[in-house]
Structure 1
């Protein structure tokens, strides 16, 4: 995996999401419980935020690690969604860049998967993402 510290913004972000639609089966995002003042309220906010893609939700699980982060004690909610035209529109309308997916406005740390393999994972608050080299070549060729 390549580590990239430059954000992908605007039209390039939208083009990236389109390429990921062609190659990915699902995506995930994270709600870190350490950042929730009142957990029930934050979960209700997430339900409202994702209302238009609720039928695309695969699962919401509690995790202590994900592609870019490992928590020693605390946990987070991992939301996994099918990748399709509806969820792509959601990603494009809510975020304007990879690093714009950050608490409190949005969930954090987008991850995109082809089957069980993560091909792109963002660590929004630390301003980097990792991407599969083969996927990065596809993305760059489609620019």
Structure 2
């Protein structure tokens, strides 16, 4: 995996989501519990935000680590996993105009994309980096 500090924005962001949609079957994002002033209200906000794609929700896990982050001190986060298809791809493009725009409070954090449980892209928006499979990144650059 390559680690990049370049934000992907605008039409490039939409192009990246399209390429990820061709190569991945699932995406996820994170809601860190320690950032929630009121957990129920925040989870309701996320449910409202994702109303159009709730039928594509695969699972929600409580985790202390994921591709870009390992939380210490017993902290945990909700990680929401969704099918990646035309509907959810459009959702990702409608809700944001950039890979690093995925962060609290407007949106969940740390978009991740998977193919058969293998992560091909994992963002860490609030720290301004993402990791990406080299072959997928080359496909993006050549498109």
Give TM-score, length-normalised by structure 2.
Answer: 0.98
Q: State the distance in 1 between where 2:69 and 2:109 align.
A: 11
Unaligned runs of 5+ in 1: none
Q: Partner residue of 2:89?
A: 88
Q: Partner residue of 1:116?
A: 117
Q: State the distance in 2 between where 1:132 and 1:11 align.
A: 20
CA RMSD between the two structures: 0.5
Q: Partner residue of 1:139?
A: 140
Q: Which residues in structure 2 correspond to 1:1-143 (within 5 Å)?
A: 1-72=1-72, 73-142=74-143
Give TM-score, length-normalised by structure 1.
Answer: 0.98
What SS does the corresponding residue of 1:104 show, helix, strand or coil?
A: coil
Shift of 1:2: 0.5
Shift of 1:97: 0.3
What SS does the corresponding residue of 1:30 show, helix, strand or coil?
A: strand
Shift of 1:138: 1.1
- Runs of 4+ aligned residues of structure 1 deviating over 2 Å after TM superposition are none
List per-residue Cα deviations over 1:107-128 (Å, max 9, x = no partner): 0000000111000000000000
Paired residues, what number?
Answer: 142
What SS does the corresponding residue of 2:15 show, helix, strand or coil?
A: helix
Q: State the distance in 1 between where 2:82 and 2:96 align.
A: 16
Q: State the distance in 2 between where 1:42 and 1:127 align.
A: 23
Shift of 1:141: 1.2
